Amino acid sequence: MKRALLITCAILTLATGALPQNITPQQVLQQIRQAYDKVQSLRATVQVKMGETFVASVQFLRPKQFSVQVTQNGKLVQSFTSDGATFTTYDAQSKTYTQQPVPEDKPLMGGYLNFAGFAAVAMEPQFGQMLEGFVKRSFNKAQSKGTQKVGATPCRVVELTGEGGTMTLFLGQKDGLVYRMVYKMSDGDTYEELVTALQLNTPVQKTAFAFKPPADAKKEEPKQQAERDDTTSLKGQEAPNFTLTDMEGNEVSLSSLRGKVVFLDFWATWCPPCRNSLPHTQALSQHEKAKSGDLMVLAVNAREELDKVKKFMQDNNYSFRVLMDKEGAVLNAYKVQGIPTFVLIDREGKIAWVQVGFGPGTEKQMEEAVQHALGQ
């Protein structure tokens, strides 16, 4: 009870005034989640910089009704729409869309979470849990950096630092929401989010959440799309063979590993969920069966430069084996559309388990799948 009161006190102090000296980065995220829990509806424009720059027009109404329109250089790239019953993803380049029922008792995960900024915390509670886990692993110190306006909005500036780099949050003084975030990763890359317009708890017409396909758009059934480009469709099939080089230039062929259990982790240094999952990949690489050679843990890097990956591995003291898929050929062969993606290959060379994304409980699923494949 005393610990709970201390945490509550710290969160309330953060929301209303100066940052306590002993507050943790995780408690900062708890305060942010509480602020978004109060949001019943919103309209926002969010600029996201992650190498490239995207602009998302976001509308949200509880429960599970939203529209996220993603543009680049003024042109529509993707849209994500939910009317509370049906979730629609539209790809402007291929002019195709898929639809699926909105689950009543399960999280609705999807690409919209990458573009909605911190508004995604209100749109999908599990996203908030994932962020909190990432912050807990990546940062160990929170400091107040005074106040600063984002546009016309007065904000408190909070800096989180740790092995993961530095994340600077600009929190609205009145509502505690995130108006700007700058994340400077330990390898030098920067990820930014900026809210350029925001309306809270104002009426939103439900017609905003009705998807109207363009005249030239084609509907694809989820099953057809999964067969074409979803890694989970490969479960039970022969694992596609590949030959890649590791960071030392040594070739590794999957065919040469027949008879062993092979764990593949498709990842990139710039991907926050990947960073959150890599300690578990490292732990698997230290498994007794990995040390004996019966379990092969291979982290397939997605299209990055060797020097950048080497520095990331050194900075984080990781020792698992990394294979460089610079051209993305293996990612394509395994139909990887989102990272991290985990693939477990059994002794017969068949794909026994697939997991796309990393969230609460994923590490337990990883361990259980590996133990089952090893026959333990």
Domain residue spans in the chain?
Answer: 2-220, 224-374
pLDDT in tens, 258-275: 999 999 999 998 787 888
pLDDT in tens, 99-117: 989 888 777 767 677 788 8
| pLDDT higher than 50, residue 86 | yes
135 pLDDT band, cuts 50/70/90, is: confident
Q: Which segments of the chain does DSSP mark as H helices, in order?
A: 2-16, 25-37, 112-115, 120-123, 125-138, 222-229, 272-285, 288-291, 306-316, 329-333, 362-374
Across 89-93, 159-163, 263-267, the highest mean pLDDT is recorded for 263-267
pLDDT in tens, 211-225: 999 999 999 876 544
| pLDDT higher than 70, residue 170 | yes
Distance CA 14, CA 32 (A): 10
| pLDDT higher than 70, residue 84 | yes
Please tell me whether the overall predicted TM-score, pTM, comes out greater than 0.75 for this model.
no
361 pLDDT band, cuts 50/70/90, is: confident
| pLDDT higher than 90, residue 296 | yes
pLDDT in tens, 37-72: 999 999 999 999 876 789 999 999 998 899 999 998
pLDDT for the residue 374:
92
pLDDT for the residue 20:
59
| pLDDT higher than 50, residue 14 | no
Concatenating the DSSP letter of every residue in 64-118 gives: TEEEEEEEETTEEEEEEEEESSEEEEEETTTTEEEEEEPPSSS---STHHHHSGG
**The CATH number of domain 224-374, selected from 3.20.20.140, 3.40.50.12780, 3.40.30.10, 3.40.140.80:** 3.40.30.10
| pLDDT higher than 50, residue 16 | no
| pLDDT higher than 50, residue 187 | yes
**The CATH number of domain 2-220, selected from 3.40.50.1580, 1.10.1040.10, 3.40.228.10, 2.50.20.10:** 2.50.20.10
User: Any idea how long the chain is?
Assistant: 376
